[in-house]
Amino acid sequence: MLVLHYTGMETGRAALERMCDPDAKVAAHYMVEEDGQIYQLVDENKRAWHAGVASWQGLEDINSRSIGIEIVNGGHDYGMPDFPEVQIDAVITLCKDVLSRHDIFQSSIVGHSDIAPGRKDDPGEKFPWSRLCEEGVGLWPLRENALAVGSVQQLAEIGYEITAEPSRSEVYAVVKAFQQRWMQDNVTGDACLETLCRIAQVAAAYKENGKALA
């Protein structure tokens, strides 16, 4: 798997110091600065601590099966700045590089919020997932594609963890995580009709892409 994060700290320097501090017990394999500079912190064949308690497509212990990339951005706590163009270019180059070295399904490229809804909000609704998809990194179904109405339970077909009879707060958390990635202009946590249609579109794209859930 490939897991993308934002650092959510005031500066890249602060994030780097935290990830180099053994007591913090947190680090990703890579960090990408706002100016596009890439730091490697952990070898790709080593387990890094970036995902925490998480689940995707029924799999847990994400740290043991993923490469983690931290993207320097203040995030929700520091004004939600835009991701600079040069930084996203570097992220795309790095992701393509990682994909060339490992057998990673497109459906296994995720944001931290996808695998830990309610607990994590990164990389956030400003992260340009559609742009990454244009470059061959991850899936991005077009909105016009399907008019079917999906259901909240269908989120499991994409990979989101959802119980058989979810509580309201669980639905809110997982729907919000879905919206942060797939309908970034409408992050409400509300399973409205537009959201249910979008769930059907993404689920269809994942089904088409296939493999990972087989």
Q: State the catalytic residues.
A: 70
Binding mask 155-184 for Zn ion (x = CB under 5 A): ------------------------------
The interface region with Zn ion, picked from 9-17, 22-30, 56-64, 122-130 by CB under 5 A, is 122-130
* Number of chain positions touching Zn ion (CB under 5 A): 3
- Identity (one letter) of the amino acid at 21? D
3-state secondary structure of 206: helix
Q: Rounded to an integer, what distance in angstroms lies between the CA atom of residue 103 and that of residue 116?
A: 23
Q: Which is nearer to Zn ion, 31 or 139 (CB)?
A: 31
Phi and psi dihedrals of 83, rounded to 5?
A: -85, 120
Please, are residues 109 and 137 in contact by the beta-carbon 8 Å criterion? yes
CB 36 within 8 A of CB 90: yes
Among 15, 66, 98, 112, binds Zn ion (CB under 5 A): 112
Catalogue the long-range contacts made by 43-47 (C-beta closer than 8 Å, 24 or more residues apart): 44/98, 44/101, 44/102
Q: Are 58 and 37 in contact (CB under 8 A)?
A: no
Tell me which of 122, 125, 157, 161 binds Zn ion, using CB under 5 A.
122
Residues in contact with Zn ion, shown as a per-residue x/- string from 183 to 202 under the rule CB under 5 A: --------------------
Closest by CA to 67, choosing from 5, 113, 134, is: 5
- Binding-site string for Zn ion from residue 2 to residue 21, where x marks contact by CB under 5 A and - marks none: ---x----------------
Please report how close the Cβ of residue 207 comes to Zn ion at its closest, in angstroms. Answer: 27
In one-letter notation, the amino acid at residue 180 is Q
CB of 120 to Zn ion, least distance (A): 5
Binding interface with Zn ion (CB under 5 A): 5, 112, 122
